[in-house]
Amino acid sequence: MTQPIDDSARAAKTEGCTRREVLIRAAGGLTAAAMSSRLSAAAGSAVQVSLPSQTMADFPVSQVMTRLSTYMSEARERAVPEDVMERAKRHVLDTFAAIVSGSELEPGRAAIRFARAYGGKPVATIIGDTTLCGPIEAALVNGTMGHADETDDTLAPGPWHPGCNVVPAALALGEQFKANGVQFLRAVVLGYDVGTRVLAAIQSGIPNSHKLSYGIGAVFGSAAAGGAIAGFTPEQMRWTLSYAAQQSSGIESFPRDPDHIEKGFIFGGMGARSGVTAVLLVHAGWNAVHDIMTGPDNFIVANAPKGEVDRLVDGLGMRYEITRANIKRWTVGQPIHAPLDAIEALLAKQRIDPEMIKEVAVRYQPGSITDNSGPSDINVQHALSVMLIDKTLTFRSIHDKARMKDPAVVRLKAKVRLVPGAAGGRGAAGAPGVPLIQITMADGTQLTQDTVGPVLGTAANPMSREQLIAKSRDLMLPVLGEAQTTRLIDAVMSLEKSSNIGDLRRLLQRGSRNGAPRLSEYPFVK
């Protein structure tokens, strides 16, 4: 009598697969030696089809997953180079500044309203407010505020925005599990490493797929950081990755979001929430698929049939992705930075009357996500127009919604023409020899400016500690007040001395005792 055939084998038989192909499909996670042995044994029977059940014995953990999960498990106690720790502190400060300033914008206000309504157990801090929430809710709310604006950091491949999800997830679980400052920073470093490597492994499946790389990197980065905070074993890390895989989601519809609220959620809050959820499920005793990255129906193949699973561990322990992340100088989408730098350089050389401008040609990619998008901070035409009129661009000016309808801005926006080509260098594809910025004045005079070197804040031209502190101070001072802002900056830049990350709460919260402005005192964001 024949053995029962499981669903995958039955489907394979229905599709006309051979007996050998049925066995291969059912045993998709076996090593080569085990597969050979299994097939040889099966070949001895002319009638029976003995199929393996899908258990750990049938689908052993791959060498890649073993290496990755072990590395993740050891991250909490493993030292990292001093320069990496310094970069981690800078990115944590940059993220806190993004969250604090984001609490004043509409996505931040919406997030705080959610926190106040659905707070949960009072375990974790809501930044910029006095509300305490459960770790899942806090990660969602702080993550959404971290990308309420385009102030937060960026990283490729992907691309994704790691700070606005990894840091809130690590903070929420750090408070839950009482992590110290060093453990917190190491967890953040791990989050950047894992999220970026997952995206690298499926990079071939992302272009033209409508998938949201920002959401995928976010959940894996947040889950990895949270697992490190929780002190998970390699097995628990593997289960955490499996729950992260099930929650990775999002589509590239965010340029249509008029108020940046959904974008704040899918870039920051969604991944932070999902990563923390994965960690807490495993911490509660749930198990899961042992190796979601290999075997039948694995995450890599589901997202990129030509994905490269080995990229999950490429350079692991030697290349720290946080050292390749970008910190933004301008509070706008990263692709807009190079044109703004060029406009700034041009304005430094000569006076430009915006009313006398006939045309502004920008070497850019028409139809890109920042081409006349809904939110003002990811709209290249709007950002350049405000810059030319004001001679600078600030957090206040880019979020002044009234400027979107200002007749002077609207007139100038209509004169901005995007010339096909990348904004990153001279003679970009599709626009050979075309400068980055070419302004034609009413009298026919042409003013040109090409790139002025790597954009400040990128890995090729990183901000100094002093520049980053100045940026963070400008963003946080209107919300927290001068004294509290100074104390918070000092605390973050010496986090390695902290015995409990929860001690940051009093510096991250905002209350009337701080003498800080209330929400109603910011009419420019209404």
pLDDT, tens digit, for every residue of 482-498? 999 999 999 999 999 99
Q: Is 210 exposed, middle or buried (0-12, 13-18, 19+ CB in 10 A)?
A: exposed
Q: What is the pLDDT of residue 37?
A: 38
Residue 132 main-chain phi, psi, to 5 deg: -115, 145
User: Would you tell me how many other CB atoms lie within 10 Å of the CB of residue 255?
Assistant: 17
Measure the CA angle with vertex 72, ends 68 and 74; round to 5°: 120
CA pair distance 466, 3, nearest whole angstrom: 70
CB contact at 8 A, 419 and 352: no
- Count other C-beta atoms under 10 Å from residue 3's C-beta: 10
Number of H helices, E strands in the chain: 21, 6
Q: Read off the pTM.
A: 0.83
Residue 474 pLDDT? 95
Q: Mapping DSSP to helix (H, G, I), strand (E, B) and coil, where does residue 483 land?
A: helix
Residue 477 backbone zone (phi > 0: left; psi -120 to 50: alpha; other: beta)? alpha
Neighbours of 422 (CB within 10 A): 16
Detail the DSSP E strand segments found in 165-258: none
Pairing of strands 357-364, 437-441: antiparallel
What are the structural domains of the chain? 7-60 (no CATH), 64-82+148-324 (1.10.4100.10), 334-449 (3.30.1330.120)
pLDDT, tens digit (0-9, with 9 covering 90-100), for 250-284: 898 887 888 889 999 999 999 999 999 999 999 99
Confidence of residue 42 (pLDDT cuts 50, 70, 90): very low
How would DSSP label each residue in 426-457? TT-TTSTT--SEEEEETTS-EEEE---SSPTT
Computed over its alpha carbons, how large is the radius of gyration of the chain?
25
pLDDT at 517: 40
pLDDT score of 32:
36
